[in-house]
Amino acid sequence: MATPDSVRRAYDEVATTYAAHFPSTEPEAPLDLAMVDAFTAAVTESTASPRVLDAGCGTGRMSRYLADRGCRVEGVDLSPGMVEQARRAHPDLEFDVARLTELPHPESTFDGVVLWYSTIHTAPEDQPEIWAETTRVLRPGGHLLVAFQAGEGTRNVSSAYARFGHDVELVRHLFTADQAAAWASDAGLTESARLVRRAMRTERDDQAALLFVR
């Protein structure tokens, strides 16, 4: 079973390769980015320069997308290697190392929080802790966007990096949009939009993105 430490080690190992192959939003379909745009529209409705946390930011590629659309973005990631790549690629943004279950921010800090494929290495039984913590740092009336592969079971994704010479063990968990909505509701969030689309191109699974308000 994957642990935070094993996930951290895997992403530290592949950080340079990941940054080189996905510098921006290459993996996203237009529908996916439409949900991000819906999020930015929601958080900018009440303030011209909303403070947004990219939780599980990786190399900062989505942080850049959000910043270019008027958000004051801060990113956190479990992997120091990924954070190093994010700081190198986006020196104008702030990135720190932190777990999703131990965010270094006071309550109600952010106008918006993004969990863009950053919950996928956490088993379903451990998801509520992530949702509670990200809701804690979201202000009342703020918005949370989450995206993930939709379905059931697990996928071993180690082979995706083996072709680049990386020997890592990395497993991702699939869960349904209804499961995510239930975790969000338990954390005190209300669903405002949902996208579930079929797999495209080289994807193995359907993709989901859900938008919530606190």
For residue range 66-124, what is the model confidence (pLDDT) as tens digits? 999 999 999 999 999 999 999 999 999 999 999 999 999 999 999 999 999 999 999 99
Domains and CATH numbers, the chain: 4-213 (3.40.50.150)
Q: Which residues contact 173 (CB under 8 A, 6 or more apart)?
A: 120, 121, 122, 123, 124, 153, 154
Report the share of the chain in percent with pLDDT over 90: 81
Tally of CB atoms within 10 A around 153: 8
Cα distance between residue 113 and residue 51, in whole Å: 9
Instruction: Find the mean pLDDT for residues 29-57.
Output: 96
Encoding tokens for residue 137? 């740092």
Distance CA 131, CA 209 (A): 15
- In angstroms, the first-to-last Cα distance of the chain is 32
Report the share of the chain in percent with pLDDT over 70.
95
Band the pLDDT of 1: cuts 50, 70, 90.
low
Check: CB of residue 59 under 8 Å from CB of residue 82: yes
CB 175 within 8 A of CB 148: yes
Q: Does 192 have pLDDT greater than 80? A: yes
Q: Mean pLDDT over residues 14-33, rounded?
A: 92
Per-residue pLDDT, 5: 86
